[in-house]
């Protein structure tokens, strides 16, 4: 069965040196850990979650759909996201 979709919402957060696909600033809600994504390396996140947190560049690289990126200034400010790095992955 092939899954079809028209839109996909991909929440992102900034870890140390890498953008990851994750909604919250901390790992508390899904992993019971108070640690902030922004204070954790991608390698540490991967180990702590058994690889469940994906890198943004890997996810975007695997999509074969047209993308529409919505810039939210509130999300940018809150998550300290480098938008220029998000677009370089496309």
The 10s digit of each residue's pLDDT in 67-84 is 655 555 555 555 555 555
What secondary structure letter does DSSP report for 82? -
Question: CA 90: distance to chain centroid?
Answer: 14
How far does CA 18 lie from the centroid of its chain?
9
Higher pLDDT, 76 or 7: 7
Residue 85 has pLDDT above 90, yes or no: no
Q: Where are the domains of the chain?
A: 12-88
* Listed residue (38, 41, 39, 28) closest to 82, CA to CA: 38
Q: What is the pLDDT of residue 32?
A: 93
Mean pLDDT of all residues in the chain?
76
Q: Vertex 18, ends 47 and 84: CA angle to 5°?
A: 160
Q: What is the pLDDT of residues 9-43, one digit of tens each?
A: 677 777 888 888 888 889 999 999 999 988 999 99
């Amino acid at each position: 069965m092939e899954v079809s979709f028209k839109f996909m919402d991909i929440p992102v957060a900034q870890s140390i040196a890498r953008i990851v696909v994750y909604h919250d600033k901390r790992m508390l809600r899904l992993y019971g850990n108070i640690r902030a994504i922004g204070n954790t390396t991608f390698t540490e996140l991967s180990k702590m979650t058994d690889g469940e947190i994906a890198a943004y560049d890997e996810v975007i690289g695997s999509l074969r759909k047209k993308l529409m990126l919505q810039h939210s200034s509130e999300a940018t400010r809150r998550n300290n996201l480098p938008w220029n790095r998000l677009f370089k992955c496309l």
